[in-house]
Amino acid sequence: MQHNSRRLVIDGGESIVDFNNKAFKPIPQEGIDLAVSAMNAGVMYRYQPKKKEQSITANLERDFSKYMGVKHTIGTNSCGSAMYIALNIVGVEPGDKILTNAFTFHAVPSVIHHARAVPVLVESNREWAMDADDLDRKATETGAKVLLMSYMRGHVPDMDAVMEVVKKHNLIFIEDCAHAYATLWNGQLLGTFGEIGCFSTQSSKGMSAGEGGLFITNDDEHAAKAALYAGSYERLWTKHYDLDAEIMDRLQNQIPGYSMRMQEVTAAMLTPQIERLEHIKNVHVENWKLLHSLVCEHENIEVPMPLPQVDSFCDTMQFHLVGLSREKADLFIDVMKMEGIPMQIFGAKRNARDYRQWEYVEAHKEELGDTIANIEFACDLSLQPHLSQENMRTIAQVLHDVLAYINAQ
């Protein structure tokens, strides 16, 4: 590849980028047609259909359970709702301490705050996954009994080590899989390691419907409570698949309903997306590998690699800028945006993924040196599946050209 053969926009040249790397995935036509059908029929509330077999949401739940290899899925209006319901199910009370990532999107500590609990922030490693050793330390120091762990940007910790800590401290493990569709550790899908897994269907995620969430579990009572917390009442739970009637009758009026249900139009948009996950993953993986090969040897770019046990979805790339000052790193982001490839640095400009910005969390005052070091110059690049291999070559060219410009300043 030839580098530095053109003038950048900042010097009066023209951008070579003619695509939007952040454009979200379109809804498949089948999902659009199903959503329009529900709207035309005026059947948008998940419990309107007379039978579960006629409910788009119930059928989506059944299909996602089959895909994940679990007994139960409950659709919610967001992943945040799914996680909030999960915290309620496992008995979290105000003031309880919850182990969670220091590096994640602020929605995760916000869910803990919603439950009036207290986040205990666990350090990240160089590849941005949770540090199992610090998890062990924090569990020992705080006595916390619940772990809400996020696979932020699809980065996976040493799951064997994490599960050892979970077992050692008898932790209740809830997985935030918003960024971890079709991601495996030693062949096992993430979301199936803990008692509960929570997935997002917000626009940028592996399955996309603008908003929405999917709560999964193998525990019959957890599933029953999730349906009730989400907003099933009277005997509407009969319009779900595989809920235990005895448990439902026992819990029916004990559990409040938080009106966090998924609705039929959301489920319609998602219905055809389960089967396209593997295709999208293949596109992501091939694009990521090509881009990595074109930039990994640059002196200013460090791309930490996942552990060999990880089979990633690869819908984004993160890398550390090395050897640059704060001023030059910020200029790099500004010039990349001018060139048509917007990205961000996790530890700069009030990013919502920087725990130091979570002023509603008391723990943000604690100095978490590893996490700070690992986000301070960490760039976040979106690689949506409409992008081609040629687009990867263009991104690599722009990265090289912009870094050459920055280094010359």
Query: pLDDT tens digit string along 218-269?
Result: 999 999 999 999 999 999 999 999 999 999 999 999 999 999 999 999 999 9
Rounded-to-integer distance, Cα 209 and Cα 266, Å: 6
Average pLDDT, the chain: 96
Mean pLDDT by 10 residues, the chain (409 residues): 74 94 95 98 98 98 98 98 98 98 98 97 98 98 98 98 98 98 98 98 96 98 98 97 96 96 98 97 98 98 98 98 98 97 96 95 82 98 97 98 96
pLDDT at 5: 64
Percent over 70 (pLDDT), the chain: 98
pTM, 2 dp: 0.97
Fill in the amino acid letter for 395: I
CA-based nearest residue to 85, from 190, 224, 270? 224
E strands, 344-406, where? Answer: 344-345, 378-382
CATH classification code of 29-273:
3.40.640.10
Helix (H) or strand (E) holding 266: helix 264-270
Contacts of 313 (CB under 8 A, 6+ apart): 154, 179, 180, 181, 182, 183, 206, 281, 284, 285
- Cα dihedral 246, 249, 251, 255, rounded to 10, equals 140
In the structure encoding, which two tokens stand for residue 318, read together? 């993160």
CATH of 9-25+277-408, one of 3.90.550.10, 3.40.50.720, 3.40.50.300, 3.90.1150.10: 3.90.1150.10
Query: pLDDT tens digit string along 61-73?
Result: 999 999 999 999 9
pLDDT at 160: 98
* Greatest C-alpha distance within the chain: 72
Domain chopping of the chain, boundaries: 9-25+277-408, 29-273
pLDDT at 362: 82
- Cα dihedral 397, 401, 404, 406, rounded to 10, equals -120
